[in-house]
Amino acid sequence: MIIRTRFAPSPTGFMHIGNLRTAIFEYLLAKSNDGKFILRIEDTDQSRKVDGAIDFIYDTLKLCNISIDEGPNNNGEYGPYIQSERAKIYKDYALKLVEENHAYYCFCNEERLENLRKIATKNKKPFMYDGHCKKLSKEEVLEKIKNGEKYVIRQKMPKYGKSTYIDQVYGKITIENSVLEDQILLKSDGLPTYNFANVIDDHLMKITHVIRGNEYLSQTPKYNLLYEAFGWQAPTYIHVPMVLGTDGNKLSKRNKDASFMDLYKDGYLPEAIVNYLVLLGWSPNDNQEIFSMNELIKNFDISKISKSPSTYDIKKLQWFNANYIKKMDDEKYYQFVLPYLKEVYDLTTYDKNWIEKLVQIYKNHISYGKQIVEETKMFFDDEFKISEEAINFMQENNTDIVINTFKNKILNIKKWTIENINFAISETKKETNEKGKLLYMPIRIKTTGLMHGPELADTLYLIGKTTVLKRLEDNL
């Protein structure tokens, strides 16, 4: 059997990272078994569709090195791969369920449904459709259709007994049938609901494994009852734990959580994002944390997916991203951070060698591309602010001797080089008998406004002798 997985996003804008993690899992499952990865666009809710969103999805997957075997732009034998183009297929299958008494026409208007919702709320019970139209005779149904009354088609659920299935992560799942609502399969506009279209498409596209969030654990019996009604084999289910924000809520676009493109534009590398996201809910056999895509494919095993939710931690992502930035060759790194500097600062008066040296000293200090702007602010703006912590440090320690001694040393420097600046620091150390932070920190604070940073001599060289002297003379 060829493993076939599918990623089925809605075209509602940029892809949020929780959704991307699902795509990564589906891709790794397929490729680790020499299978196929299918992209299907679920656009049955036309009101939420965003122009260009399909391109966003393709762009995101391409940047993440996730190749699509079949999809809207990679046509295969099971297309079309956009649900709005498959409307007739769903209607035919819905009508078949009606004929075989697994579904029925429902003509209830919104007013009646809203009244049922109010009663449920009053009784402090979850709303469930009461099956009113299930009692209609075939003649009554035909008469209503003939009169042009709007209708939906609902699935006829069993009201007694239990439904059980096996999930690859959570094991045996059993749900009381009495909690299963007669869900809508076909809406009044002729388009299917998400639940119905998924079943039809997964079967027709020969999807063998379905990966989705564990919030669907209790919904899966509805899908399985449809498979049973058609006499089809259900796919293997793999429900994955949710990704939560630091506030404990599920990540989502509606909560304005970061999308992949938001991160990408800020200078987070796709390979670092993929690496981080795959470890949210999945763990390898050893303690390895940094993986290439090929290594992930080789090591991916669904038995290593956790049942527990994971917390999306931007600081941990930054740690991953910093590791990938450090591994960049110098020219690629330069081209990576240069656009962020150009967007904020006028670089036309600066020598290219100076810019290259500037970004290079921060290669081991930044966690994402855009961070270079704030880190290098002191080189472009004399109005830098010294933090309260730094001011307190200067006031609590006798730093004037170090500052004045160092200032006198660099006044005598004829050629402004890193070597000569280091010599001036060394001579200051000898004369003041200070070392460590009591030597370096006062100089750094006075010249950069910061308590920590790249190599001090490199930093001062790039600031320039004139500016360094001016800053050493200025009061805090």
Judged against a pLDDT cut of 60, whether residue 147 lies above it is answered with yes
How far is Cα 106 from Cα 113, in angstroms, rounded to an integer?
11
Looking at residue 92, its pLDDT comes to 96
How many other CB atoms are there within 10 angstroms of residue 416's CB atom?
14
- With 0-12 / 13-18 / 19 or more C-beta atoms within 10 angstroms meaning exposed / middle / buried, residue 17 is buried
CA atoms within 13 A on the CB side of 203: 19
Instruction: Write down the pLDDT at residue 381.
Output: 82
**What radius of gyration, in Å, describes the C-alpha atoms of the chain?**
31
Domain locations along the chain? 4-68+243-311, 84-240, 328-380, 388-473
pLDDT band at 15 (very low <50, low <70, confident <90, very high): confident
- Work out the angle at residue 169's Cα, subtended by the Cα atoms of residues 45 and 234, and round it to the nearest 5 degrees: 55
DSSP state of 190: S
> In the prediction, which pLDDT does 256 show?
55
* Short-list 435, 447, 441, CA closest to 472: 447
Q: What is the pLDDT of residue 264?
A: 96
pLDDT of residue 285: 86
What pLDDT sits at residue 441?
A: 95
Given this model, what pLDDT does residue 382 score? 74
**DSSP string over 20-53:** HHHHHHHHHHHHTTT-EEEE-B----GGG--TTH
Q: Give me the pLDDT at residue 16, please.
A: 86
Kindly give the pairing relationship between strand 171-176 and strand 162-167: antiparallel
Active site residue 307: no
User: Would you state the CATH architecture of domain 84-240?
Assistant: 3-Layer(aba) Sandwich (3.40)
Categorize the per-residue pLDDT at 383 as very low, low, confident or very high, splitting at 50, 70 and 90: confident
- State how far the Cα of 78 lies from the Cα of 117, in Å rounded to an integer: 40
DSSP 8-state class, residue 407: H
pLDDT bucket at 272, cuts 50 / 70 / 90: very high
> For residue range 350-382, what is the model confidence (pLDDT) as tens digits?
999 999 999 999 999 999 999 999 999 989 987
- pLDDT for res 246: 79
**CA gap 97, 155 in Å, rounded:** 8
* Greater model confidence, 45 or 280: 280
Q: Does residue 271 register a pLDDT over 60?
A: yes
Report the pLDDT averaged over residues 16-45: 94
Q: Where are the beta strands (DSSP E) in 170-299?
A: 171-176, 184-186, 209-213, 236-240, 243-244
Report whether 439 contacts 425 (CB < 8 A): yes
How far CA 328 is from CA of 225, 336, 338, 375, 405, in Å, comes to: 52, 9, 14, 19, 39
Q: Which two tokens stand for residue 310?
A: 């994971």
For the domain made up of 4-68+243-311, give the CATH fold: Rossmann fold (3.40.50)
pTM equals 0.90
E strands, 187-272, in order: 209-213, 236-240, 243-244
Exposure letters 96-132 (e unless 16+ CB within 10 A, then b) = ebbeeebbbbbbbeeeeeeeeeeeeeeeeeeebbeee
How far lies 13's CA from each of 50, 262, 444, in Å?
6, 12, 45
CA distances 103 to 97, 132, 175, 454, Å, are 5, 13, 20, 69
Mean pLDDT, residues 78-87 taken together: 93
pLDDT tens readout for residues 153-182:
999 999 999 999 999 999 999 999 999 999
Look at residue 51 in the predicted model and tell me its pLDDT: 84
What does the pLDDT look like over 251-268, one tens digit per residue?
Answer: 765 555 678 999 999 999
Residue of 253, 316, 357, 377 marked catalytic: 253
Q: What's the topology of domain 328-380?
A: Helicase, Ruva Protein; domain 3 (1.10.8)
Q: Phi/psi at 173 (nearest 5 deg)?
A: -115, 125
Q: Is the pLDDT of residue 250 over 90?
A: no
Q: Six-digit token pair at 4? A: 């076939």
Furthest C-alpha separation in the chain: 105
In this prediction, residue 257 carries a pLDDT of 63
d(CA 73, CA 68): 9
Topology of 388-473 in CATH?
Answer: Arc Repressor Mutant, subunit A (1.10.10)
Fold matches, 4-68+243-311 and 84-240: yes
Determine the Cα–Cα distance for residues 454 and 204; give it in Å rounded to an integer: 58
Distance CA 185, CA 9 (A): 19
Task: Give which of 473, 471, 6, 440 is closest to 206, Cα–Cα.
Answer: 6
CB-based contact 54:38 (threshold 8 Å)? no
CA–CA dist 205, 51 (Å, integer) = 26
> Which whole number is the average pLDDT over 394-418?
92
